Amino acid sequence: MSRFPTELRRWRTARRLSQLELAIRADTTQRHVSFIEQGRSRPGRNVVTRLAESLDLTLRDRNELLLAAGFAPAFPESPLDDAALRPIREALDTILDGHLPYPAMVVRPHGILVTANRAFDLFHEDVDPALLAPPANMFRHALHPNGLAPRVRNLPEWGRHITENLRAQLVRSPDPSLEELLAELEGYLPPLPPQADSLGFAVPLELASADGDLRLITTLTSFATAADVTLAELHLEAFLPADDRTAEVLRRRWG
């Protein structure tokens, strides 16, 4: 029996949509969605594609839903070193270099480092080399006691800014391995101080360095219109100075 009915129901429930709401989004009927979830109707490829789009699934999850329905994946998944992605890699290198003297990195799912610019060395001071060995996990690098964490002045707040973002990601796309990583990361965090009852929209990173304390904010960029699974899963995280002194230090070191 096809796995599709179970998978469709699981995703619809995760998105907190009724059968009628999903049907309206996918330009079909509630009756058709009900029959599909009961296994009484087998949808065609176009219907599966519309349902996946209506559920706002990632390209990887859209491929998985198509496979569950017995169809071939719609989106390629190229190795990062594939010739087809060479222009993208070159563009990313240009962006990273252009962001100097401020740190920036590119990561793939679960925070695995792909590449970074020279200023990212700021985050490597006093970090256990084992945490930097490929494939380096930047979430673990940030919050592990042997990583960046001892230098983070506001670790309880900043760390939870990271873990809450991962928790939101899990709600959107459940993933047992990411859930396991999140549990590990939360185990590294000290309790929040009593006055820190709200994290707000963004928490600046307050970081001790050889040049004194620095304050940084981050921006996150994804490739929303990508048609390749590998590219769609990449994220560019760029750090910016949150005050003049931090900007001066970074310009002096990597300008």
What pLDDT is recorded for position 173? 87
What pLDDT is recorded for position 151? 97
What pLDDT is recorded for position 152? 97
β-strand partners of 65: none
What pLDDT is recorded for position 1? 57
Residue where the block lists tokens 């706002």: 56
Per-residue pLDDT of the chain (255 residues; tens, 9 = 90+): 579 999 999 999 999 999 999 999 999 999 999 999 999 999 999 999 999 999 999 999 999 999 999 999 999 999 989 998 899 899 999 999 999 999 999 999 999 999 999 999 999 999 999 999 999 999 999 999 999 999 999 999 999 989 999 999 998 888 999 999 999 999 999 988 776 555 545 689 999 999 999 999 999 888 777 889 999 999 999 999 999 999 999 999 998
| Domain architecture of the chain: domains with CATH | 4-68 (1.10.260.40), 83-254 (3.30.450.180)
β-strand partners of 238: 104, 219
What pLDDT is recorded for position 84? 86
pTM for the full predicted model: 0.87
Both tokens assigned to 39: 């296994």
Q: Are residues 45 and 72 in contact, defined by beta-carbon separation less than 8 angstroms?
A: no
For 89-133, the three-class secondary structure string (H helix, E strand, C coil) is HHHHHHHHHHHCCCCEEEEEHHHEEEEECHHHHHHHCCCCHHHHC
**Positive/negative CA dihedral, 63, 67, 69, 73:** positive
